[in-house]
Chains A and B, each alone.
Chain A
């Protein structure tokens, strides 16, 4: 089932949660809505579900206009941020709820319900725990119950609000992989909301980056990371170091620090750099003169993260260097180095 959002907007009192925006989601696609809190991503998701009504615009599922269709009749699966499991019902009854709530004519027989719920619980590896109450489960298990419950009514659209937000890192990784598998097996169209760029980039076919009630960019994860449309998208998708200054004789200069570069028309006073685009050296060269002091070193993970400070920075920089370079340079807290950037990025200044 494809989803078409056309010119949808929403205000809450005097604040605009969503400016009129449009979005096209293909059948079977998995789309992540990514943005900081207050960007309108959850509002958009709830409007697609029908839990919230748009002030203007329309929502289509396939060819069917569902803008005025009640949530109950939209047949969407919705997974809530804190799962919203029915606390007084067993795991089994939670999953069976959607089937039992159907009108008498369409309701499957008790035996059918039992079989379907049992099958789903096996699918999410919870059949052993079917008699437990939600409070007796771990966060990851609760999340799986919530998913099974939403899938029990066989929705063609699955909507997830911050599905892994409240889980610890290891469980989150496992569930992400597992959701991806379910998505491929069941073939539903899914839209999920997240503020975690890593999650959005890993899980989505396409990512919708939002801020302040607007869509900033819609693209595949690769395209998004390689060619961010604007400064907001660039800075939201990863760690960012900023260098601001004035152009003088082919250099962008700030105090004693400078980077050799031609004057740019789009962003004359600023360049942005990713941590992995910074090299640490013991001497400056003709490309840049950026003296820094090491403030902290964290040699955990595939790269070594080095925090850098200097008088000419407005906020500390972060460099990630290879373990090879780390062994060669042996940076310690308080050591002085020079940064040479391998590449940098420039964007038009943000509209206020």
Chain B
């Protein structure tokens, strides 16, 4: 049987189109980043990479990711467990609410937090009485990053846990297993790959987040500048090489993340095949 697009001409045409578009929109810009970073040679690249501000931006970026990932890991498991294992009124609404951070523009999320936690905000004014300042400091940046990235883990887990159902857990209970044993020996092994996948996505977004953090950061050099903000700052200072050095670092992190993700996908696929 001949299907649509089976002709040699159509096939070659479609493949060529895909290759051209990928090159134009993905490969050239990506290569451009690295080209710009090394435009003036190795020395300025290295200089920029090891400058105090860049090192501090790297440190802050890692700190944000380091705090965000565990929080959303636990939150995501908890939420997915709740939504897939229990029937309660409002379950569907909750499932929709999970997606809000995806649907809302990160800038809006940042503004929202500024409004709530700023010095004159509803919660912020209470906090400032206790001499706690969340906005224009790194804890605020962590807070908005947690908000922006909170759906990733839950989104990965919910469909999987729904498809797997609770029969295995029920079997575990009838055999006398307690809650923690159930989670550790039955639930967790069944969801572990989805969990790792969710963590990778959360991490990637936490490292790269710009919009929300830029609203709450206040751009204090050496204190509230993470890598994405650093890129913008340097670029506005006409330090092209510096900007692209940080950008190259982010791009490299993204590429590494994608590679880990690809390896995992390949691994899961192979597991499913042999299982």
Contact = CB atoms under 8 A, between A and B. Distances in A.
Given A80-B167, A87-B190, A136-B275, A97 B185 contact: yes
A77 B174 contact: yes
Given A87-B190, A135-B275, A78 B178 contact: no
Interface string A136-165: 100000000000011011000000000000
A78 B168 contact: no
A38 to B, nearest CB: 19
B177 interface: yes
Contacts of A150: 174-175
B167 A71 contact: no
A101 B177 contact: yes
Contacts, number: 65
A85 B168 CA distance: 6
Contacts of B175: 97-98, 101, 149-150, 152-153
Interface string A68-80: 0001111111101
A84 interface: yes
Interface string A98-129: 10011000000000000000000000000000
A5 interface: no
Contacts of A98: 175-177
B270 to A, nearest CB: 14
Contacts of A170: none
Contacts of A75: 176
A66 to B, nearest CB: 13
B245 to A, nearest CB: 44
B181 interface: yes
Contacts of B178: 72, 101
Interface of A: 49, 51, 71-78, 80, 82, 84-88, 97-98, 101-102, 133, 135-136, 149-150, 152-153
Interface of B: 167-168, 170-178, 181, 185-186, 189-190, 275
User: Which 3 pairs, one residue from A and one from B, show the smallest C-beta to C-beta distance?
Assistant: A98-B175, A84-B167, A101-B177
